[in-house]
Amino acid sequence: MSKDMATTTTFNSLTSIFFLTLIIIIIKGSCDCSLNNINIGTSRSGREIGGQPEWNVSVINNCSCQQSEIKLSCKGFQSSESIDPSILSMEGDSCLLISGNPMKGFDTVNFSYAWDPPFLMFPSSSVIGPCT
Ligand SMILES: *[C@@H]1O[C@H](CO)[C@@H](O)[C@H](O)[C@H]1NC(C)=O
Ligand SMILES: *[C@@H]1O[C@H](CO)[C@@H](O)[C@H](O)[C@H]1NC(C)=O
Ligand SMILES: *[C@@H]1O[C@H](CO)[C@@H](O)[C@H](O)[C@H]1NC(C)=O
C-alpha cells in the first residue's frame, strides 16, 4: 500500500465516524412526534346555526413536542357559523390553525362550525419542535 492510499483510507474512516456521529446527534435531538399526532375529533353539538347542524371540533397535539404552522386539509370547507380567523383561517384548500402559532404538547384547540354534511378534516402540514 502506498503512503497516499493509507492517508486516504484514514481520512475516509475519520469522515465516516464524523458523519455517523452527526446522524446519531440528529436522531437523538429530534422528536418522536409527527403530523400523525395531531388528532382531530368532531362531534355534533346538538345545536343548529343558520339551519345547519353545528359540529364541535377538538384538535389535540397528542404528543410531547410542540407543533406550529399547523395546516388542516379543508377543501371546500364552508360554515354557516362564523369562525374566529385567529383560530381557523382558510387559505385555499387548507386551513391555518391559530394563525400558525405553536400548540404545546398535549394542548387542545376547539372550534365549532355549522354545515351539513360535516367535513373530513385532517392535518396536512406542520413544523415540529422544539421538543421538551
Ligand atoms: C392519543 O394517543 C394515544 C396513544 O397513541 C391514543 O391511544 C389516544 O387515543 C390519542 N388521543 C386522542 C384524543 O386522539
Ligand atoms: C360544543 O361547543 C360549545 C361552544 O364551545 C359548547 O358550549 C358545547 O358544550 C359543546 N358541545 C358539546 C356536545 O361538546
Ligand atoms: C376542548 O374540548 C375538549 C372536548 O370537549 C375539552 O376536553 C377540552 O378541555 C377543550 N379544550 C379547550 C382548550 O377548551
In angstroms, what is the span from residue 56 Cα to ligand 3's centroid? 10
- Distance CA(54)–CA(60), nearest Å, equals 19
Output DSSP code: residue 21: H
125: pLDDT confidence band, cut at 50, 70 and 90?
A: very high
Across the range 1-20, mean pLDDT stands at: 59
Query: Which class in CATH covers the domain with range 35-131?
Result: mainly beta
pLDDT in tens, 38-80: 999 999 999 999 999 999 999 999 999 999 999 999 999 999 9
Closest CA to 112 of 74, 81, 75: 81
Does 25 have pLDDT greater than 60? no
Q: Among 42, 44, 54, 58, which is best to mutate for testing ligand 3, by the most ligand atoms less than 8 A from CB?
A: 58
Position 131 scores a pLDDT of: 83
The mean pLDDT of 94-108, rounded to a whole number, is: 97
Show me where the domains of the chain are located.
1-30, 35-131
**Helices assigned H by DSSP within the chain:** 3-29
Tell me the mean pLDDT in the region 4-30. Answer: 56
Kindly indicate the confidence band of residue 24, based on its pLDDT and cuts at 50, 70 and 90: very low
Kindly provide the residue ranges of all beta strands, DSSP E only, lying in the chain, ordered along the sequence: 38-49, 52-61, 67-73, 88-91, 94-97, 108-114, 122-128
Alpha helices (runs of H) in 71-129, residue ranges in sequence order: none
Q: pLDDT: is 18 or 105 the higher one?
A: 105
Q: List, in sequence order, every residue forming a beta bridge with 89; answer none if it has no partner.
A: 96
Of ligand 3's listed atoms, the one at least distance from the Cα of 110 is 1
What are 16's three cell numbers?
Answer: 465516516
Q: How confident is the model at residue 15 (pLDDT cuts 50, 70, 90)?
A: low
CA–CA separation, 21 and 43 (whole Å): 47
Residue range 125-129: average pLDDT? 95
